Structure 1
Amino acid sequence: MVGGVLVVIALLVIRLSDDTSAPRLPADITLPDGATARAVTFGTGWLAVVTTDDQILILDSETGALRQSIQID
């Protein structure tokens, strides 16, 4: 039983320390003038920034370039 617990702990440490699944952020993200970030979410190859002026900005996760802007009504 003690061996099983040690194996589970070892697997958790190995799995949680794996850094490859962490989101990649560009070194510099520039939002349009007057935009302030309220929330951020990550996808594969992109990130979305919700701004305080009710916009969703879709940015490229490698370059930080703006891909799309969506106005929330």
Structure 2
Amino acid sequence: MARGAPDSEELPETPSLRRLRRLVTTLTITLILGVITVVALLVIRLAQMTPPPPLPATIALPAGERATALTRGAGWVAVVTVDAGGRERIRVIDAETGAPRGVTEIAPR
């Protein structure tokens, strides 16, 4: 016969084992509450996001220039353009009317 306790009997729980079990339970509950908090914050923040401002239907660029990048802000759109000679410019355009608001030359490297 093998030595040891039979399967039907439970061993007495030592204080260190009891403390370990409580610690694991506490940490599990903390982890679950943390995940719930993060998910709730994501849902709240994503629900409050506003759509980006609209772009003009068309943006007229000077002949020979092509757009390489675009960004928008509150009431304006910035278009980075490059011409046939490789010169780059940032053209700021009114988002509502499409009228030019300014041009900035980008110095070559």
> TM-score normalized by structure 2?
0.53
Q: Which consecutive residues of structure 2, in runs of 5 or more, have no partner in the other structure?
A: 1-29
Measured after TM superposition, the shift of residue 17 of structure 1 is 4.2
Q: Which has the higher contact order (CA 8 A, sep 6+)?
A: 1
Q: Deviations over 1:26-47 (max 9, x none)?
A: 2322222222111122222212
Aligned ranges 1:1-73 → 2 under 5 Å: 1=30, 2-20=32-50, 22-53=52-83, 54-73=88-107
Give the structure with the larger helix fraction. Answer: 2
Measured after TM superposition, the shift of residue 22 of structure 1 is 2.4
Give distance in 1, aligned partners of 2:105 and 2:40: 47
> TM-score normalized by structure 1?
0.71
Give distance in 2, aligned partners of 1:46 and 1:40: 11
Structure 1 equivalent of residue 26 of structure 2: none
- The number of residues matched between the two structures is 73
Q: Which consecutive residues of structure 1, in runs of 5 or more, have no partner in the other structure?
A: none
Q: Pick closer, same or farther for the CA change 1:15–1:51 going to 2, 3 Å.
A: same
Give distance in 2, aligned partners of 1:64 and 1:36: 17
Q: Which structure has the greater CA radius of gyration?
A: 2
Task: Give me the identity figure in percent.
Answer: 52
